[in-house]
Structure 1
Amino acid sequence: MAHAHHHDHHADDHAHHHDHTDLDWAAMAPLLEAQAELFTPLYAQAMAWLAADVTDPGLIVDAGSGPGVVSCLFADAFPGARVVAADGAGPLLERARDRAARLGVADRFGTLTGDLPGVLGELDYPADLLWASQSLHHLGDQRAALAAFAGHLAPGGTLAILEGGLPARFLPRDIGIGRPGLQARLHAVEEDAFTAMRESLPGSVAETEDWPALLTAAGLKHTGTRSFLLDLPAPLPDEARAYVAASLSRLRDRVGDTLDPVDRATLDRLVDPDDEAGVHHRQDVFVLLAHTVYTAVRPA
């Protein structure tokens, strides 16, 4: 089964799940941490929503945790819970353990290193809340993976999956260089790349992304769907501007060769730190996106 990690779909996910072994996760960790920290307001909203129905969980599992930023947010939001971060990349989980220690929650924080969903078989007991944020779509057979996730829930336990929503927008429609509508065209290219990523996964099965129906098919009762907004208006603080620059630079590396010459040249200017029209300098750059969370409960 493919390794899965906890990233923003349109920032990282298209980049690197063809082959887990060719990545330097230790080098990527600071970037992944910075992104998750930037998204903390969105995750905090999601956790407050979950807390209305998930009361006093004993065990929370973050399936595809990456470097553990969100895992530690769960530890803070649910102070009575033990949190287990599960991921395929050992260097990221090392960062997660360090973060838990810094935040004073190491005594109720654990990690599992290995492929999803199989590594969840190493849990000592079933989860009261299993969170899978943009990790499910890196598993070839999503229907089978959901059934496996459901099997690791305690009776009455909740599975929360974060999939879909709205891709991040950073720029106005007309940015004064190139053709207007650049980011809409970039999103279309990203969707094609995402489809190719899914098709390349081992055991890939095409699936209609009707998440409530898939959760129901896994033997769970769908209990809620809600989208959460991250709205960082212009002018951006430095950390948000750095996220935009890094996201567009990775996009240029991945799909730049598939763009038409005008759009490619525009993207080159946007990621050039020395270009006054680039995102490092321009004052109209913002971050606006939405993530959607689906919840379902295992019958008691």
Structure 2
Amino acid sequence: MTVTGHGHGHEQGHGHRQDRGHKQDHGHGHGHGHGDIDWAVMAPVLEQNAEVTAPVYREVAAWLRDVRTVHGGGAAERGDDPALIVDAGSGPGVVSCLLAEAFPASRVIAADPEEALLARAAARATRLGLADRVGTHRAELPGGLGELAPADLIWAARSVHHVGDQVAALTALAERLAPGGVLAVLEGGLAPRSLPRDFGVGRPGLQARLDAANEEWFARMRADLPGAKETTEHWPALLTAAGLRHVATRSFLLDLPAPLDDAARAHVVATFERYREFAAAPDSTAGLAPDDLAALDRLLDPQDEESLHRRADLYLLTAHTVHVATAR
């Protein structure tokens, strides 16, 4: 299971693979079929993406505490911190450390297949004084989690959709839960918006057309995964099919108005660079018109007064959806 770097609703979220996303992400990418990526080089970008989204992750962690108290079993119902949290597809460990801060009595394991990213996670934990509670585990996901003790909370942000059989992936994660344990899956949400509908370059509505191009890329990515199965992405039903009891779904808004700070601006630029990479790929079916490609080039040109690097009207608005289920 892998995730990506800069992307939109599919890939923008977890500071790792967003966003592979991605994946998420990423992404936000660190995704399936990108084994030639130098993760030591990509890691700072992934970290920055996750740090920009940190307010959302802090809100999620507070909500997960409430969900565990209401729906968990044993220690969870008493409000105790989970003994073991696994960040499945952790990337450079930004969210792993945020979870450790939110649950100060918990042990957190950042699990990822990439050594370079795990090294960054360990360094971040040390820098934040969390090294005694945040560890790393190198493993392909989700199967590699079998070497760990059963977890009381597993966090999987935009990683499940990088496995061909998503029900099998969720089932494998569910099997790694302790009795009464919680699986939190970040999938879906709303694509980001960063520009007015008409921002003075090219035809109005560019971001809607970029969304469509990204959807085409995502569909091809899914179809090319080993063992790919078409799945209706009704995540509560998928969690139930994996043997869990779906208990809650909630969306979290990231609303950063203009003017953006340097980190958020860099995040938006990276997202648009990813769009441009998709459009330029030899196998691209994005179908962006020449004028849209020209508009993208202007937006990414630091010397252009209308570029993302210089615009005063640049903002970041998006939503991240988390589905939570408990072991029966």
Quickly name the TM-score band, shorter chain normalised: over 0.9
- Once the two structures are TM-superposed, the CA of residue 86 in structure 1 deviates from its matched residue by 0.6
Residue aligned with 1:285, SS: coil
What do the CA deviations read for 1:127-155 (whole angstroms, capped 9, x no partner)? 00000000111111110010000000001
Aligned mates of 1:71, 1:92 — CA distance in 2? 12
Is 2:161 the partner of 1:137? yes
Aligned mates of 1:297, 1:18 — CA distance in 2? 28
Aligned mates of 1:190, 1:136 — CA distance in 2? 18
Aligned mates of 1:200, 1:14 — CA distance in 2? 19
Is 2:90 the partner of 1:76? no
- The correspondence for 2:36, drawn from 16, 19, 22, is 22
Is 2:96 the partner of 1:91? no
Amino acid at match of 1:278: S
Unaligned runs of 5+ in 2: 5-15, 69-78, 282-286
Aligned to 2:271: 247
- Once the two structures are TM-superposed, the CA of residue 17 in structure 1 deviates from its matched residue by 2.0
- The correspondence for 1:169, drawn from 188, 193, 212, is 193
TM-score normalised by structure 1 residue count: 0.96
Aligned to 2:141: 116
List structure 1 segments (4+ residues) > 6 angstroms apart after TM superposition.
none
- Once the two structures are TM-superposed, the CA of residue 15 in structure 1 deviates from its matched residue by 4.2
Provide the alpha-carbon RMSD of the alignment.
Answer: 1.4
Aligned to 1:41: 55
Unaligned runs of 5+ in 1: none
Is 2:287 the partner of 1:262? no
Aligned mates of 1:234, 1:20 — CA distance in 2? 34
Residue aligned with 2:67, SS: coil
Amino acid at match of 1:290: A
What do the CA deviations read for 1:74-132 (whole angstroms, capped 9, x no partner)? 00000000000111111000000000011111111111112111110110x21000000
Residue aligned with 2:35, SS: helix
- Once the two structures are TM-superposed, the CA of residue 157 in structure 1 deviates from its matched residue by 0.4
Contact between 1:4 and 1:87, CA under 8 Å: does it hold in 2?
Answer: no
Contact between 2:86 and 2:154, CA under 8 Å: does it hold in 1?
Answer: yes
List aligned pairs for 1:42-57, cutoff 5 A.
Answer: 42-54=56-68, 55=79, 56-57=81-82
Aligned mates of 1:74, 1:18 — CA distance in 2? 26
Cα 1:297/1:104, change in 2 over 3 Å: same
Aligned to 1:178: 202
TM-score normalised by structure 2 residue count: 0.88
Cα 1:200/1:17, change in 2 over 3 Å: same
- Once the two structures are TM-superposed, the CA of residue 13 in structure 1 deviates from its matched residue by 3.1
- The correspondence for 2:307, drawn from 266, 278, 292, is 278
Is 2:85 the partner of 1:64? no
Structure having greater relative contact order (Cα 8 Å, sep ≥ 6): 1
Aligned mates of 2:53, 2:155 — CA distance in 1? 16
Aligned mates of 2:326, 2:179 — CA distance in 1? 8
